[in-house]
A and B are shown apart, each in its own frame.
Chain A
Amino acid sequence: MKILKFFLIIIIVFYFTPSNANDYELENKITKNLRCLVCQGQSVYDSDSEFAISLKLVVSNKIKEGLSEDQIYNFLIEKYGDWILYDPQFNKYTYLLWFLPLLIFLFGGTIIFKKLIRLK
């Protein structure tokens, strides 16, 4: 009976640990994508400033409340603007940022392709 109880506890512990680990991973993922607005060139994840410490806590609380990654980003964008994200979301202000490299790449590719055809 004791052995059964022991295994039951082990199972419960292992059952709940992955969800905490996932939350922790998600928190790290989010805070790595957040700019520490009072530091120079540091993410919230890397910074130990008062602002970053509080922000990490807010992110952790929001995850516990059940908010998704995007919902947390939207919440923070509403407070601090797009600048808080290192990886900006796709919207009317950032579409050029997303598409310009692709356009330049296609353009360069066309030049190379044309040159190759001419050489043949």
Chain B
Amino acid sequence: MINKTFSFLFVISLVFIFFIFYKGLNKSSLYEPKNEIKNIPKFSALTFFEKKKINSENFFEQNEYYLINIWASWCLPCREEHPLLLRLRDNDKLKLIGLNYKDNFESAKKFLNKLGNPYEKILLDEDGTKAIEWGAFGVPETFLIYQNKIVLKFIGPLNEKSFDKIEKIIK
């Protein structure tokens, strides 16, 4: 009797282990951040041109859409997405805010003079700590914000698909 129970338990545990591995192996091992709605982080930063300190708590207006774009002049994919940002600038319902990530001020200025400035305001992130507060991995990264909440997050350069997604939401 004991042996039977024992064998039964043994088989059950084997099935259980098999099930765990089967489920685990079917799951993609690629890391994909969850696109859940989160509150925007609390942070303070200097503005790019005026070097004026701003506080995130009184910077974003409640009923406005904001697009926070983390960029740097040394980042090649940022050049790739730049024409799309310029196109998004033309949308009245959206305010573009740049977060200049670990950049040289003169190089960043040259970058904007050459390619155009799509941003209504640019904030400085000289040591990359603000980007961490946003949960960013690097540059470029873009966040769509509404009512102090992150509605959408794009890792990597924006493309036509992400452009359409943004336009659809703010319509």
Contacts and interface: CB of A to CB of B under 8 A. Distances in A.
A54 B33 contact: no
A50 B129 CA distance: 10
A50 B138 contact: yes
Nearest to B39: A78
A54 B137 contact: no
A50 B138 CA distance: 8
A74 interface: no
Contact of B6 (A53, A104, A114): A114
Question: Number of contact residues on B: which range applies?
Answer: 20 to 34
Nearest to A103: B13
A80 B128 contact: no
Contacts of B13: 103-104, 107
A3 interface: no
Interface in B46-60: none
A79 B135 contact: yes
Contacts of A61: 129
A100 interface: yes
Query: By DSSP majority rule, is chain A's interface helix, strand, loop, or mixed?
Result: helix
B89 interface: no
A80 B33 contact: yes
A112 interface: no
A57 interface: yes
B34 interface: yes
Contacts of A100: 20
Given A54-B131, A79-B132, 11 more contacts: A37-B137, A50-B128, A51-B137, A53-B128, A54-B128, A55-B132, A58-B129, A61-B129, A80-B33, A80-B135, A81-B34
